[in-house]
Amino acid sequence: MSAAAVSGRQTALGVDVSGIGVKGPPRVEARAMTKQFGGNVVLDQVSLTLEPGTVHALLGENGAGKSTLVKCLMGFYQADAGELLVNGEVVAVKSPRDAQAHGIGMVYQHFTLVENMTVAENLLIARQTLPAIIDWKRELADLTAFMRRMPFHIEPTRLVRQLAAGEKQKLEILKQLYLGSRVIILDEPTSVLTPDEADEVLGLVRQMAERGELSVLIITHKFREVLAFADHVTILRRGKLVASDRVRNLTPAQMAELMVGAEPPKQSSSRTDSAPRELALELERVEADDDIGLRVLEGVTLHVRAGEIVGIAGVSGNGQDELVEVLAGQRPLRSGSVRVAGDHYRSTREHIRTRRVRLLPEAPLKNACVSHMTLAHNIAFRDYDRPPFTLLRWALRPAAFKKRAEEAIRAFRIRTPGPLSPIGQLSGGNVQRAVLARELAGEVRVLIAANPCFGLDFGAVAEIRSRIMDARNAGTAVLLISADLEEIFALSDRILVMSEGRIVHETPAQTADVREIGRHMAGHA
């Protein structure tokens, strides 16, 4: 505790960041780290060594265990097994403060700066201890001296609000240096930066590492950054360590293969064969913007036929979420068209009903339910304005809601205290079952499923996948968007790969080459 405070204070006075041999970054080593969540092994005996003065990339798909490993290093989680060594000594890191005391700091994916405070204020409030009265004159002088020694420089009196994204990222890194961190973990540092900003920030960090002032661990799934800036790469897949090597010893194709695996996963067995049928869902040059107005969908064109599952694979953050939101009516379509069975489609109640389009979003409690409303009400969202729920067009019949919910509870084996329980009180699997019961009721022409099994336990996953397969066998056109390649392979008839807002690859699932898909996902065709 006191060590952290002391080191924070010393850096503020500028004692140990100069890198002129005072104290280099420590060697950090994780040994056989294992972490389970509710019987689910998310990190399985993973070891990693961060040599002083190197840039180390941690590569893996979503859910590969990258962030869990890092959170164990930082003391957010306590590993179930395994140990952490700093300079060869076993240390107990129970909280991020402990990690800080050992000189390990993390820069999060999303900024943790106070927008309407100055750079200097942001740096000062990050310290663990502050005097009751701050001597700003002295602190500013200290900060200016500190900045002068840094490879990049931000005026301490500027407001954070006025900084560009790249400058904020630099400030986050400066903050860690100011706090005395010599080992910096960057969590997807470039996800909020333009390519130029990313190159600049990572280049500066790399130079500091080369001078022996820092060690850096970068969590990423961008191959380009690994190749350009990292010395060493550790690749995780499904919680296991699959490779750890010098970057120069690996080609991007090899990395892709290591990341997604070489074995094509098994297909689901309940698939019935059928001849290609009529077109059900057609997207033509669909474009949309993200929340801050940047174009994220750059002309997505795809077709789904009745009775087939088309899977969209891709590293997350390449426009998949926005595509689902456009189809769900949660994000405006900038240009292009969406047609269902040849008819123009917009997410209005009339179109949803007449075109028979259903959607299973990820995080259903956030995207598709009202958590404080009852299960019975949530199950009725699609047709509460139609008989049998209505009487005389306007009045609701509570008994009909209850009856429908009871049927759904039986048919989909939803575990709930009763139909009138708030849906927010159910477990994740049961919420997803309730949404399935709602979305798969009646005849469905088009089903859009986005990461439908994310975060669910094994049994629920199998059941939900077989429900989707049943819908396909019954003639529904299914568009499956998933960050889980195994899920794409298990369900799809045809696989598309999405990268940077476009469909960049298409292949029938039966003859799909997982390495080929991995290369397209990584943007290295």
Partner 1 sequence: MATGGAPNAPSARVDWADIGARLEPFLIPLFALFVSLALFGAFVALAGQPPLEVYYQMYRGAFGTWFSFQNTLQRASPLLLTALCTALPARAGLIVIGGEGAFVMGGLAAGATGVALAGSPRAVILGAMFAAGAVVGAIWIGFCGFLRARRGVNETIASLLLTYIGIALLNHFVEGPLRDPESLNKPSTRHIGEANMLGSIPGLDVHWGLVAGVVACLVAYVLMERTVFGFSAALVGGNARAAKLSGVKVAEVIVITCALGGAAAGVAGSFEVAAVHGRANASLVAGYGYAGILVSFLARHNALAIIPVSLFLGGIAASGGLLQRVFALPDATVNVLQGILFVVLIASDTLYGRIRWRSLAGAR
Segment near partner 1 (CB under 8 A); pick from 51-59, 205-213, 272-280, 366-374: 366-374
Binder of partner 1 out of 76, 111, 152, 384 (CB under 8 A): 384
Q: List b or e across 82-106, with b for residues whose CB sees 16 or more CB atoms inside 10 angstroms.
A: bebebeeeebebeebebbbbbbbbb
Cβ closest to partner 1, residue 66 vs residue 358 = 358
Binder of partner 1 out of 369, 440, 468, 469 (CB under 8 A): 369
Report phi then psi at 97, rounded to 5. -65, -40
Cα separations (Å) of 258 from 170, 236, 251? 31, 8, 11
Binder of partner 1 out of 89, 263, 291, 350 (CB under 8 A): 350
Which residue's structure tokens are 């477990």?
427
| DSSP strand pairing (89-91 vs 104-107) | unpaired
Return the bridge partners of 105, or none. Answer: 184
220 is written with which tokens? Answer: 């990423």
Residue-level length of the chain: 525
| DSSP strand pairing (446-450 vs 477-481) | parallel
Binder of partner 1 out of 32, 204, 396, 444 (CB under 8 A): 396
Question: Would you put residue 245 in left (φ > 0), alpha (ψ -120 to 50) or beta?
Answer: beta
Binder of partner 1 out of 268, 347, 430, 476 (CB under 8 A): 347
Binder of partner 1 out of 349, 410, 413, 415 (CB under 8 A): 349
Does position 191 bind partner 1 by CB under 8 A? no
- Please answer whether residues 449 and 362 qualify as being in contact, where contact means their C-beta atoms are separated by less than 8 angstroms: no
Does position 36 bind partner 1 by CB under 8 A? no
Within 10 Å of residue 454's Cβ, how many Cβ atoms? 18
CB 263, min distance to partner 1, A:
36
Does position 62 bind partner 1 by CB under 8 A? no
- Residues in contact with 350: Cβ distance below 8 Å, sequence separation at least 6, in sequence order: none
Does position 372 bind partner 1 by CB under 8 A? yes
| DSSP strand pairing (215-220 vs 183-187) | parallel
Binder of partner 1 out of 390, 427, 473, 507 (CB under 8 A): 390
Cβ closest to partner 1, residue 4 vs residue 369 = 369
Does position 148 bind partner 1 by CB under 8 A? no
Which residue's structure tokens are 């008994």?
399
Binder of partner 1 out of 4, 341, 359, 414 (CB under 8 A): 359
Does position 472 bind partner 1 by CB under 8 A? no
Return the bridge partners of 313, or none. Answer: 497
CB 375, min distance to partner 1, A:
13
CB 60, min distance to partner 1, A:
29
Segment near partner 1 (CB under 8 A); pick from 40-48, 374-382, 450-458, 475-483: 374-382
Residues found near partner 1 in the complex (CB under 8 A)? 328-330, 347-352, 359, 361, 366-373, 377, 381-382, 384-385, 390, 393-396, 417-418, 421
